[in-house]
């Protein structure tokens, strides 16, 4: 059967904040298609709680937001990128408000601003404690209403189409689109375009415990790497200090804004408030510091969790500020207005990724990348809270503007081969995929977590080499499934994380190793070249 092929002006892989922002900024001039692996709102965007950082308060300054970002990032940030994003933040918030995002209003200021770790001012606009859901809904509504945007859920991109897939053409390295598995028909389809934007989100599911949704398997990073893009700082995996500890609900985040509004971290039993023992900023120190302190106390005392306590604030205040968390936890038998919340650190954000410039351009012509799948220079060695949605809006718009300005230089896609399934069969051993999924996530958690050693990293690297052979063999022989696509990407990304971690001979930001506990004077990105 001939494979199905689609051609558009611009192809966007990913329907979260980054992908939809790019789509909305392109659609007045171009025919845009947006692919999503599952439902349109399955990405991390819809799960974001705390909010979006921007300088909006009297007395706050760009300089202060820039400094806070650089301090959290342990100096590894690219100052130009930080300045660019911070200075564009207020306009990005204004555009979201115009799209209908119902940000909470302030008493005296236009919007209520909350506070999060590492920020020296109140500067987080939010929609209660479910900001991401409101943002995702507003973006989706606008995209659905636009006649030039085609939204395609249940379409899992497998690989980028490059010069080597041409029938006659060989434009080395140029990207012309993707092959993608239609999960409704189980057929592979071809999507071509003059420009392709990866907006595929992070790789949190490389770890056993993560606040990220099921689809955060680093697909875009793995696809870009396989096609020939450099990636950077993949060792900088952010662990959020406060994920709910519950045997049934495994990845429910307790927003940092709880600490921003006075929540305290305490040891179960004694009730001792331990963060002041670790850092003068206590619960509002940057995330890497708080997560390491919790990890330290859990390991030292053999605990399952620590407590996050906001019950000293008036019940009405707590319910008004955190209505979703309150309702969710009441359903689990925890009344946060009267008792503490059991919490543990969990993987939360992928700071590293595909290297991009200020226009979202990757190393390959025709290919852009935006949002959490990128390393733009904004986050450095540790992302400052609520800077990531912001990055999606600013870079989504920047990539769209660059495509618009350079449209005439982007060639039409050449004829491309269809997907070849002539030498594969249906798998009779699905168990291998499930087993390897679990195994990767387990050893990444145990060996490549919050505190690292060279020996543990080497152990993980050894396991990855063995698994990679098995997965490649499986991929070469059997028809692709969504799980297999993700497993192949997980192993690729796990490899990038471990190789990057082995290269960094210091402790900086999120990368903390007992073998090199000090920070070097010179801050250098870890850059891997395919
Ligand atoms: P996502 O929103 O993750 O979207 C990824 C998209 O790519 C999805 O549509 C997915 O289907 C698609 N995709 C992936 N792979 C494929 C494939 N192979 N084929 C087709 N489509 C694919 N940041 C903040 O700034 N403030 C917050 O308050 C905040 N809270 C957070 C709370 C939680 C629980 C989590 C997990 C993250 C939070 N973050 C927060 C981080 C922030 O939500 C993310 O960094 C951001 O939403 C990423 O947006 P994105 O558009 O890059 O990717
Ligand atoms: C949170 O609400 O704690 C998450 C904020 C973020 O990840 O930026």
Per-residue model confidence as pLDDT tens digits over 269-296: 999 999 999 999 999 998 889 999 999 9
pLDDT score of 2? 52
- C-beta of 156 in contact with ligand 1 (< 6 A): yes
Kindly report the pTM of this predicted structure.
Answer: 0.95
CATH 3.90.700.10 in the chain, residue ranges:
245-346
In CATH, 4-235+351-409 is 3.50.50.60: yes
pLDDT score of 170? 46
pLDDT score of 165? 63
pLDDT score of 169? 44
* Alpha helices (runs of H) in 448-519, residue ranges in sequence order: 454-477, 482-503
Query: Contact 212/29 with Cβ under 8 angstroms?
Result: no
124 - beta bridge partners?
A: 53, 114
Q: What class, spelled out in words, does domain 245-346 have in CATH?
A: alpha beta
pLDDT score of 251? 85
Question: Tokens standing for 397?
Answer: 């718009």
Q: What residue owns the CA closest to ligand 1's atom 40?
A: 48
Residues 335-368 pLDDT 10s: 999 999 999 999 999 999 999 999 999 999 999 9
Tell me the Cα Rg of the chain: 22
CATH topology for the 430-513 domain = Methane Monooxygenase Hydroxylase; Chain G, domain 1 (1.20.58)
Question: Given ligand 1 and candidates 13, 16, 256, 369, which is best to mutate, with the most ligand atoms within 8 Å of its CB?
Answer: 16
- C-beta of 371 in contact with ligand 1 (< 6 A): yes
Grade residue 476 by pLDDT with cuts at 50, 70 and 90: confident
pLDDT of residue 175 exceeding 50: yes
Residues 202-221 pLDDT 10s: 999 999 999 999 999 999 99
Q: Which of 28-42, 379-393, 419-433 has the lowest mean pLDDT?
A: 419-433
Residues 107-144 pLDDT 10s: 888 999 998 888 999 999 999 999 999 999 999 999 99
Rounded to an integer, what distance in angstroms lies between the CA atom of residue 201 and that of residue 15? Answer: 9
- Per the model's pLDDT, the better-predicted residue between 115 and 190 turns out to be 190
pLDDT score of 489? 97
| Residue 349 CA, ligand 2 centroid: distance in Å | 9
pLDDT score of 326? 97
CATH 3.50.50.60 in the chain, residue ranges:
4-235+351-409
Sheet containing strand 237-244, strands side by side: 237-244, 341-350, 306-309, 264-266
CATH 1.20.58.100 in the chain, residue ranges:
430-513
Which run of H or E residues covers position 150? strand 149-152
Share of the chain above pLDDT 90, in %: 87
Beta-carbon contacts of 63 under 8 Å, excluding residues fewer than 6 positions away, are none
Rounded to an integer, what distance in angstroms lies between the CA atom of residue 40 and that of residue 218? Answer: 17
């Amino acid at each position: 059967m001939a494979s199905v092929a689609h051609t558009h002006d611009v192809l966007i892989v990913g329907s979260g904040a980054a992908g939809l922002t790019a789509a909305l900024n392109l659609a007045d001039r171009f025919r845009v298609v947006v692919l999503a692996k599952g439902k349109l709102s399955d990405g991390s965007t819809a799960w974001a709680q705390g909010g979006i950082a921007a300088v909006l308060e009297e007395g706050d300054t760009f300089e202060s937001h820039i400094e806070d970002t650089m301090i959290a990032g342990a100096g590894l940030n690219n100052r130009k990128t930080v300045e660019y994003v911070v200075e564009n933040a207020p306009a990005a918030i204004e555009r979201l408000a115009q799209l209908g995002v119902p940000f909470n209003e302030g008493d005296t200021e236009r919007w209520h601003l909350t506070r999060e770790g590492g920020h020296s001012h109140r500067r987080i606009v939010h929609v209660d404690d479910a900001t991401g859901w409101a943002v995702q809904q507003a973006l989706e509504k606008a995209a659905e209403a636009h006649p030039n945007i085609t939204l395609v859920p249940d379409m899992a991109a497998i690989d980028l189409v490059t010069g080597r897939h041409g029938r006659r053409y060989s434009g080395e390295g140029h990207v012309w689109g993707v092959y993608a598995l239609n999960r409704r028909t189980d057929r592979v389809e071809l999507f071509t375009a003059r420009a392709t934007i990866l907006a595929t989100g992070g790789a949190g599911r490389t770890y056993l415990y993560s606040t990220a949704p099921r689809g955060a398997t680093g697909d875009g990073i793995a696809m870009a790497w396989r096609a020939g893009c450099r990636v950077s700082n993949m060792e900088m995996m952010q662990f959020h200090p406060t994920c709910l500890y519950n045997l049934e609900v495994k990845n429910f985040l307790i927003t940092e804004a709880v600490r921003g509004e006075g929540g305290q971290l305490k040891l179960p039993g004694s009730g001792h408030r331990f963060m002041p023992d670790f850092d003068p900023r206590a619960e509002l120190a940057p995330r890497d510091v708080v997560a390491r302190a919790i990890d330290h106390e859990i390991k030292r005392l053999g605990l399952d969790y620590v407590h996050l306590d906001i019950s000293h604030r008036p019940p009405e205040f707590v319910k008004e500020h955190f209505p979703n968390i309150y309702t969710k936890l009441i359903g689990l038998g925890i009344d946060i207005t009267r008792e503490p919340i059991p919490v543990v650190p969990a993987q939360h954000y992928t700071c590293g990724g595909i290297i991009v410039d200020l226009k979202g351009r990757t190393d390959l012509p025709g290919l852009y990348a935006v949002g959490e799948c990128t390393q733009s220079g904004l986050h450095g060695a540790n992302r400052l809270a609520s800077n990531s949605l912001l990055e999606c809006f600013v870079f989504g718009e920047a990539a769209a503007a660059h495509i618009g300005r350079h449209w005439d230089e982007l060639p039409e896609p050449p004829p491309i081969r269809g997907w070849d399934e002539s030498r594969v069969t249906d798998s009779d051993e699905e168990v291998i995929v499930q087993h390897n999924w679990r195994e990767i996530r387990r050893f990444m958690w145990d060996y490549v977590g919050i505190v690292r050693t060279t020996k543990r990293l080497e152990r993980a690297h050894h396991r990855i080499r063995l698994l990679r052979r098995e997965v490649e063999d499986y991929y070469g022989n059997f028809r692709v499934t969504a799980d297999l696509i993700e497993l192949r990407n997980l192993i690729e990304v796990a490899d990038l994380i471990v190789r990057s971690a082995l290269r960094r001979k210091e402790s900086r930001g999120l990368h903390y190793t007992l073998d090199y506990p000090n920070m070097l004077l010179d801050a250098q990105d870890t850059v891997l070249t395919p």
